[in-house]
Amino acid sequence: MKKRIFGFTLIEVTISIALMGIISLLSFLALQSSVKSSSLSYAQNEIDSDLRNTFNELSELVKQAYSEVSTNVTPPTAPAGAEAIQVQNNGKGLRFFIPVPVNTPAFLQSSQPIVVQYENEDRSSEGVPPNAILDDGEDTNGDRALTRRLVMVQENNRRVIGSANCISNVEFQLLPDRSDKENTPTLLYIYLEGTKRMGPGEGPLIRAELSGIVKLEN
């Protein structure tokens, strides 16, 4: 009686090992892609959140600003010392006054001037645009971080607006309301751009934008 031998041939074993290798490689690539996608989504959400927080905080503050509607009329309806909001530094800064309640018959007085400044240490170098990385010579304030933010300054008080430090570009414009026949600028257009590197070092550059219009109430 002929004895039967069970097992795999060398070719079958080789094919099985090759298939297992391919499956393992595909699984690794899928996991790597998933991790990268998750990191990209996290970085994008982080920038979006920073831009929203900055825009919302700035909007709440600047909507109270006096405009030409109350300062350039006779007699002025704004308190003494108030000036109409101004866009400064080629569209990257603001200067304005807001009403402050007081316990007098006038009920309101003008605040001290409020200045919004854009601080950005990220510079172009030898034709290379800003890269969202702290390069040699860019740390002008000595905090060992790349500063890119909006700051509010009033007298001796100074604070970062929205706590964001990824603002790569800013633009402010004063615009007239279309319903105003006098074309008095009572709207403030705000544009914010944010960039970050995904992960440490020179990872992919992630970018987001946010813009909107604020109606000036005074």
For residue 113, whether the previous peptide bond is cis, meaning omega lies within 30 degrees of 0, is no
Residue 37, pLDDT score: 56
Across 171-197, average pLDDT: 89
Tell me if 118 sits within 8 A of 133, measured CB to CB. no
* Length of the chain, in residues: 218
pLDDT tens column, 35-81: 555 566 777 888 999 999 999 999 999 999 999 988 888 888 888 88
Q: Is residue 216 within 8 Å of 65, Cβ to Cβ?
A: yes
Average pLDDT of every residue of the chain: 83
* For the ranges 38-52, 62-76, 88-102, 124-138, the one whose mean pLDDT is highest: 88-102
The mean per-residue pLDDT over the stretch 127-133 comes to: 76
Domain boundaries, given as residue ranges, for the chain: 37-215
Between 177 and 60, the higher pLDDT residue: 60
Give CA 116 to chain center in angstroms.
Answer: 15
Residue type, 120: N
pTM (2 d.p.): 0.77
Q: How far apart are CA 40 and CA 47, in angstroms?
A: 11
Cα separation, 149 vs 179, in Å, equals 34
